[in-house]
């Protein structure tokens, strides 16, 4: 199942720069592992925002929820998920 997720990040003001940097490192490690195993099929930065669009290829809604809620920055994310279906005009 394919899902498009828009993830917007907003850190609270009380977090130190060191905490943010540490969390960004953990986030990078986690997202790269998901990319390597194929569950995070694609990730794109939204220009000018601390946000991204990601395409997930997973078996179920529950698996996607587990993946999203395991992101280190999850407590600071607003996430909108859109299920995707093959378009009849697609040549792929």
> Distance between CA 64 and CA 54 in Å, rounded?
12
Query: Tell me, what's the pLDDT at 92?
Result: 82
| Phi–psi pair at 6, nearest 5 degrees | -100, 125
Query: Tell me, what's the pLDDT at 79?
Result: 98
Q: What is the pTM of this model?
A: 0.92
Query: Tell me, what's the pLDDT at 5?
Result: 98
For the chain, which residues score pLDDT lower than 50? none
34: helix, strand or coil:
helix
Query: Tell me, what's the pLDDT at 21?
Result: 96
Q: Domains along the chain?
A: 2-84 (3.30.70.1060)
């Amino acid at each position: 199942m394919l899902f498009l997720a828009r993830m917007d990040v907003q850190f609270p003001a009380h977090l130190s720069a060191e905490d943010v940097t540490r969390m960004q490192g953990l986030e990078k490690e986690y997202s790269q592992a998901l990319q390597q195993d194929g569950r995070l099929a694609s990730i794109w930065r939204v220009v000018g925002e601390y946000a991204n669009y990601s395409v997930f290829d997973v078996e179920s809604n529950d698996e996607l929820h587990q993946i999203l809620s395991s992101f280190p920055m999850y407590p600071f994310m607003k996430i909108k998920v859109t299920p995707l279906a093959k378009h009849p005009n697609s040549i792929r």
